[in-house]
Amino acid sequence: MVQWKDLRSRSLIAIALLVGAILLPGPTLALRPAGSAVPTLGVKPVKLGIREPLFVTNAGDARLFVLTRNGRVMILEKVGGRWTNDGLFLDLRGKIALGYAEQGALGLAFDPKYARNGRFYVSYTALDNSVVLAEYRRATRNRADPSSRRVLLRIPKQSRMHNGGWLGFKGHHLYMMTGDLGVSTNSHDLDSLGGKVLRIDPTDPDGSGPLRYTIPSDNPYVGLAGRDEVWASGFRNPWRDSFDPVTGDLLIGDVGGALFEEVDHVATGKGLDFGWDRVEGTHLHADGTPCVTDCRTLPVAEFDHEADRCAVVGGYVARRPGAPLYGRYVFGDFCTGRIWNVPESFAGGDLPEPLDTGMLIGSFGQGADGRLYVVDVRVKGGIYRITGS
């Protein structure tokens, strides 16, 4: 029997695979009442029976692309009012290390000009235990070209823990979140790529030459001490992040250690330090007391590990015009399956009453129409739409 107290200090994917083997009841789908000022939300099945789905996103059209832990990218398309599986878009099996719970596929992002250039990007743990960022290209509408693989970045690591791996575009710049790679001091070491937000222009700058990407000239450490790819630092194991399409702000769910989970908010700033391993949430990591001085950049939301909560899952700001949740940031907790929604401008205070889904939440996602989704990461998992978004 898994003891939750033994899992609380572990990161999200380790918990997922350990717990996923237990036959837990399915999502309750029942809405827990929320306060009158908080818009309600629910969950509705889209596609069930997917093995270890890890992420869902879009390529700028009505389809959904589902990334599974073992490296499959599947296409879901709505036909006659029902979501159907359009087959296997890309298969990374054979390139991905899966021996440890936190290993596997990590992130998936489509170039904003994907309809024209067919480029998309994946991150995963490779067979040599490194974290890899690779570019692929589309072969046909429903199939990628496996031979188009181009490795942009390979981050060596000793530990198999804390890989991060979320990918996302803002304009033509690709952002990548990295965990501290299992070494907490990496997070504030600017010569390390661990525990960071990385920002690059992923297009090949010299054709078949040695360069793999371009570093934007306005990155904060260009010309200074530290890796030029670094955009922000001080993270433990960021798991699922997103840009608000209206404000452009970056919202980050950073999985904590033994005591607190946090949501971080990056607006116009760059070069920010979010404090790990000195600070966990708004508290000192050493003893859990509130941080008063030298706190770096504090999170905008946090929750502790009471009531079996264990690992934050970052989400999205709902921005579909007319949606009841418009302008609300939706995020959750892995172990309990609880989902909160707060204003995009939330800056601390008590969280509202959550929706209790009973899922093992591996990720949230967004369709091209702005609708939000949540991923149940169990062995027999699935994709659910968040109603009200």
Q: Each residue of 88-138: pLDDT tens digit?
A: 999 999 999 998 878 899 999 999 999 999 999 999 999 999 999 999 999
Say which residue the tokens 């990461």 belong to: 377
**Residue pair 76/89 in contact by the 8 Å Cβ criterion:** no
* Secondary structure of 60-127 in HEC code, one letter for each residue: CCCCEEEEECCCEEEEEEEECCEEEEEEEEEECCCCECCCCCCCCEEEEEECCCHHHHCEEEEEEEEC
Residue type, 222: V
Q: CA angle, 61 as apex, 58 and 63 as ends, to 5°?
A: 60
- Residue 293's domain spans which residues? 4-387
Confidence (pTM): 0.91
Q: What's 335's domain CATH number? A: 2.120.10.30
d(CA 380, CA 389): 25
**C-alpha 282: how far from its chain's center?**
21
Nearest by Cα to 294 from 279, 306, 305: 279
Q: Please name which of 16, 212, 169, 229 lies closest in space to residue 104, comparing C-alpha atoms.
A: 16
Full pLDDT tens readout for the chain, 389 residues: 223 233 334 444 444 443 343 333 344 333 333 344 678 899 999 999 999 999 999 999 999 999 999 999 999 999 999 999 989 999 999 999 998 878 899 999 999 999 999 999 999 999 999 999 999 999 999 999 999 999 999 999 988 899 999 999 999 999 999 999 999 999 999 999 999 999 999 999 999 899 999 999 999 999 999 999 999 999 999 999 999 999 999 999 999 998 999 999 999 778 999 999 999 999 999 899 999 999 999 999 999 999 999 999 999 999 999 999 999 999 999 999 999 999 999 999 999 999 999 999 999 999 999 999 999 998 889 999 999 99
d(CA 179, CA 164): 4
Q: Are 198 and 238 a contacting pair, CB within 8 Å?
A: no
Give per-residue pLDDT as tens, 243-273: 999 999 999 999 999 899 999 999 977 899 9
The candidate with the shortest Cα–Cα distance to 194, out of 240, 241, 169, 159, is 159
Among 48, 98, 95, 7, CA closest to 384: 48
What is the total count of domains within the chain? 1
56/316 Cα distance (integer angstroms): 12
Q: Order of strands, edge to edge, in the sheet holding 260-266?
A: 238-243, 250-254, 260-266, 301-304
- Residues whose CB is less than 8 angstroms from the CB of residue 3 and which lie 6 or more positions away in sequence, other chains included: none
Q: Could you tell me the two tokens for 136?
A: 């692929």
Tokens 């991060």 correspond to what residue?
164
Alpha-carbon torsion 28, 31, 35, 41, what sign?
Answer: positive
Q: In whole angstroms, give the CA distance from residue 7 to residue 322.
A: 40
Structural contact between residues 169 and 154, judged by C-beta atoms closer than 8 angstroms: no
C-alpha 370/C-alpha 217 separation (Å) is 31
Rounded to the nearest 10°, the torsion over CA 299, 168, 123, 102 is: 30
- Measure Cα distances from 369 to 77, 161, 335 in Å: 14, 35, 29
The encoded tokens of residue 239 equal: 């798991």
Strand 381-387 relative to strand 283-284, pairing: unpaired
Beta strands in 201-259 (DSSP E): 230-233, 238-243, 250-254
Measure Cα distances from 117 to 91, 113, 135 in Å. 20, 6, 12
